[in-house]
């Protein structure tokens, strides 16, 4: 059944947990229905093809905005390729007939190994009035699930469709998904390993700059060329007319969502509110419907990994603060959209402006929030139950905001301050006063009796001086985020 002989499988960077789930499906004693979802370009297809390199016996990829006839013709070509026969089977007239042909083919494979069937971009196959989803449900419920040697992997970038129609299906697939994988962007460590596998040799500071512009999206990182600095690579990919990320923003959202203009409106509103905003504040700013519209959009953007909700300390879900967490969207809206200066050396010049230094601090905060697990590991508290939260409040007329605090079961709280700088960061008298006010306001407003540790997360550490020595309990440097 192997599709390739004597050819080593592609290299898989990171994804150990996800690959383990897929591998376990080959060892189980029952058939498996696996849902893999995540944002566009995050590497879903590559993951499945790599893990099941020698186990795939059928693969079908949906065609965006294609008719039923085109999708069925595409199925016919995929089945002919899988069977290896010179004469093609007849093009099925509907999806029920198509799945009958697939069933007949699979039953003809004489092996006790698990047979892997992969449907990529499943939402695109389910065109209006096509009957695809009903036929697929019947295929699984009446045949595949009754066997013990089938693994069906369904994959799609439209995370909202995957959740609604598959994972939380109230129809024929209700509670039928045996495994689910939500694939997220690479971490900083995985990004560094991926770049090295492509012969790109950059130190952690350079990798961090790339991450701030494009995040851990493998398809974007593939554009990084060896022998060029982070600034040069960003310049080429984001500011030249043929650069992959120059016009990626609209393509990204319109490929994922119907009525994507509303999703983009939310994204742009969040980009302008660095401190994060509540659902009610978002409704007021966007003037979108306060009914299910905003709720649906927020859920869809969160499932795709574009935004993140942080529950403030001692608050409920309805008080969540929403932040734009997609690095590329943040970078695009700040520096690429509407720019009059494009072409070679654009970013070389822009990266020297004060606006970049101000924005980079916010971008670094988002990256630290994404790497909260690494922060806890650096603090040596990965074994202590804790919850990450945000906080904003006031006491006696003094307001304060904390973007990341770690509330620990051992009656301690780490208040984390994130600072991006090109060199060792120095706490001066004015900033020390801000920190002192933040801690006192937080303690007074929350009336907490837990021990508070001020934790500084920076690129190259905190300079030794009287303020650092008297106030800072923990100092975490950029390299710890790569662990």
User: Which one, of 154, 73, 146, 68, lies nearest residue 106 by Cα?
Assistant: 146
2 inside domain: no
Structural domain that includes position 111: 16-182
* Separation CA 359–CA 340 (nearest Å): 19
Q: How do the pLDDT tens digits run along the chain, 483 residues long?
A: 445 444 566 789 999 999 999 999 999 999 999 999 988 899 999 999 999 999 999 999 999 889 999 999 999 999 999 998 766 778 999 999 999 999 999 999 988 899 999 999 999 999 889 999 999 999 999 999 999 999 999 998 877 788 788 877 777 777 889 999 999 999 999 999 999 999 999 999 999 999 999 999 999 999 999 999 999 999 999 999 889 999 999 989 988 887 899 999 999 999 998 888 999 999 999 988 877 789 889 988 998 889 999 888 877 777 889 999 999 999 999 999 987 767 788 898 888 888 888 899 999 999 999 999 999 999 999 999 999 988 988 898 888 989 899 999 999 999 999 999 999 999 999 999 999 999 999 999 999 999 999 999 999 999 999 999 999 999 999 999 999
Tell whether 263 and 124 lie within a shared domain.
no
60 with 92, same domain?
yes
Residues 6+ apart with CB under 8 A from 481: 188, 208, 367, 368, 371, 374, 375, 457
pTM of the predicted protein model: 0.91
Q: Is residue 7 assigned to a domain? A: no
Q: Does residue 8 sit within a domain?
A: no
3-state secondary structure of 305: coil
* CATH number for the domain that contains residue 99: 3.40.50.300
- H or E segment to which residue 409 belongs: none
Does one domain contain both 232 and 147? Answer: no
Total domains in the chain come to: 4
The helix or strand, by DSSP H or E, that contains position 373, with its residue range, turns out to be: helix 372-379
Collapsing DSSP to helix, strand or coil, 116 comes out as strand
Give yes or no: residues 401 and 448 share one domain.
Answer: yes
The pair of three-digit structure tokens given for residue 310, joined into one six-digit string: 């942080």
Indicate if 106 and 65 belong to the same structural domain. Answer: yes
Q: Domain check: are 134 and 23 in the same one?
A: yes
Residue 398: CATH number of its domain: 3.40.1350.10
- 388 with 449, same domain: the answer is yes
SS3 category, 180: strand
Residue 11 inside a domain? The answer is no
Last residue of a domain, one of 332, 352, 387: 332
Render 189-207 in DSSP notation, one character per residue: HHHHHHHHHTT----HHHH
Cα 318 to Cα 412: distance, rounded to the nearest angstrom? 26
């Amino acid at each position: 059944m192997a599709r390739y002989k004597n050819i080593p499988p592609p290299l898989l960077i990171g994804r150990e947990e996800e690959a383990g789930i897929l591998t376990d499906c080959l060892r189980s004693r029952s058939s498996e229905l696996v849902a893999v979802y995540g944002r566009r370009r995050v590497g879903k297809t590559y993951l499945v093809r790599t893990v099941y390199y020698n186990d795939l016996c059928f693969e079908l990829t949906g065609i965006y905005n294609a008719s039923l006839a085109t999708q069925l013709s595409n199925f016919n070509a995929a089945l002919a390729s899988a069977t290896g026969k010179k004469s093609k089977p007849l093009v099925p007239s509907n999806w029920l007939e198509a799945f009958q042909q697939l069933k007949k083919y699979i039953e003809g494979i004489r092996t006790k190994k698990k047979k892997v069937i992969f449907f990529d971009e499943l939402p695109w196959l389910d065109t209006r009035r096509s009957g695809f989803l009903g036929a697929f449900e019947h295929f699984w419920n009446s045949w595949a699930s009754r066997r013990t040697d089938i693994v069906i992997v369904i994959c799609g970038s439209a995370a909202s469709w995957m959740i609604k129609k598959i994972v939380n299906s109230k129809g024929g697939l209700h509670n039928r998904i045996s495994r689910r994988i939500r694939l997220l962007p690479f971490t900083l460590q995985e990004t560094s390993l991926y770049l090295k596998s492509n012969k790109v040799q950059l130190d952690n500071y350079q990798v961090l700059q790339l991450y701030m512009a494009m995040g851990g999206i493998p398809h974007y990182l593939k554009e990084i060329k060896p022998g060029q600095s982070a600034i040069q690579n960003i310049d080429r990919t984001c500011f030249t007319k043929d650069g992959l990320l120059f016009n990626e923003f609209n393509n990204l959202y319109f490929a994922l969502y119907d009525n994507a203009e509303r999703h983009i409106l939310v994204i742009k509103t969040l980009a302008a509110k660095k401190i994060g905003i509540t659902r009610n504040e978002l409704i007021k700013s966007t003037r979108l419907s306060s009914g299910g519209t905003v709720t649906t959009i927020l859920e869809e953007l969160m499932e795709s990994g574009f935004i993140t909700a942080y529950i403030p300390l001692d608050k409920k879900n309805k008080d969540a603060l929403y932040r734009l967490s997609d690095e590329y969207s943040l970078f695009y809206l700040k520096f690429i959209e509407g720019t009059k200066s494009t072409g070679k050396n654009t970013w070389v010049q822009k990266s020297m402006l004060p606006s970049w230094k101000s924005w980079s601090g916010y971008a670094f905060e988002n990256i630290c929030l994404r790497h909260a697990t690494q922060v806890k590991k650096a603090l040596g508290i990965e074994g202590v139950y804790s919850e990450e939260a945000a906080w904003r409040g006031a006491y006696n007329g003094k307001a304060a905001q904390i973007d990341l605090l770690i509330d620990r079961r051992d009656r301690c709280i780490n208040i984390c301050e994130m600072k991006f700088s090109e060199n060792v960061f120095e706490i001066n008298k004015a900033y020390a006063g801000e920190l002192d006010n933040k801690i006192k306001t937080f303690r007074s407003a929350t009336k907490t009796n837990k021990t508070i540790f001020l934790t500084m997360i920076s690129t190259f550490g905190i300079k030794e001086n009287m303020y650092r020595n008297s106030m800072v309990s923990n100092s975490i440097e950029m390299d710890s985020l790569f662990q």
